[in-house]
Amino acid sequence: MMKDLTELRKEIDVLDKQLIELLAERFRVTEQVGKFKAAHSLPAVDRTREGEQEKKVMLLAQKVGLDPAIAKRIQRMIIDEVVARHQQIMHDK
Amino acid sequence: MMKDLTELRKEIDVLDKQLIELLAERFRVTEQVGKFKAAHSLPAVDRTREGEQEKKVMLLAQKVGLDPAIAKRIQRMIIDEVVARHQQIMHDK
């Protein structure tokens, strides 16, 4: 039988809670990266690292059944948020 | 002592793996939502539900120390991807 909308939305809310907690944790780590980069005068953007991350994420997405194009767009957005924050940390130094 | 970049990046890669798995799971559930909506001729967009999700996510973000504005932008992007997919499901019906 098809699950109804209420049931499915409850599942989504549980997943969103986990997603936000995971993103919070990820931004805590990238905050440390930003401070490290600022302390060592490293640039906020690292295209080599970004390229590696993109490859990894797209491969993994395919493996777990997530559209790699969607995974790539979401990852790109997260990285853009992180870079903006790193530029802020450098600016405030 | 400050963790170095290699260490921090390893932590990020672990979190990204979890993030992709969670997103895959979330898109599996929203795929069911899309099929339910198409089967019941419900619209792909539900602004009331979106408003509730936004409020929940921003409150939770604040609670776990994630910038609510960032949480909101990432959630908006995920919902946009979902709506595009739901419109595709309806179109293919």
Q: What is the DSSP string of B3-43?
A: PPHHHHHHHHHHHHHHHHHHHHHHHHHHHHHHHHHHHTT--
From CA A28, how far away is CA A42, in angstroms rounded? 19
Average pLDDT across chain B, whole number:
94
Q: Please give the share of chain B, as a percent, with pLDDT higher than 70.
A: 98
ipTM surpassing 0.85: yes
Least confident residue range of A2-11, A56-65, A68-77, B62-71: A2-11
Q: How far is A11 from chain B (nearest CA, A)?
A: 7
Do residue A26 and residue B5 have CB atoms under 8 angstroms apart?
Answer: no
Do residue A15 and residue B26 have CB atoms under 8 angstroms apart?
Answer: yes
From CA A71, how far away is CA A59, in angstroms rounded? 10
Q: What is the pLDDT of residue A3?
A: 79
**Residue indicated by tokens 């798995």:** B21
Q: How far is B47 from chain A (nearest CA, A)?
A: 14
For residue B61, list chain A residues with Cβ-Cβ distance below 8 A: 20, 23-24
Q: Please give the share of chain B, as a percent, with pLDDT higher than 90.
A: 94
Q: What is the pLDDT of residue A1?
A: 53
Do residue A13 and residue B49 have CB atoms under 8 angstroms apart?
Answer: no
From CA B10, how far away is CA A49, in angstroms rounded? 12
User: Taking a C-beta distance cutoff of 8 angstroms, is the pair A79, A50 a contact?
Assistant: yes
Do residue A57 and residue B20 have CB atoms under 8 angstroms apart?
Answer: yes
Q: What are the tokens at A56? A: 């990894």
Q: What is the pLDDT of residue B48?
A: 96
Do residue B22 and residue A19 have CB atoms under 8 angstroms apart?
Answer: yes
From CA A23, how far away is CA B65, in angstroms rounded? 10
pLDDT band at B2; cut points 50, 70, 90: low
For residue A49, list chain B residues with Cβ-Cβ distance below 8 A: 9
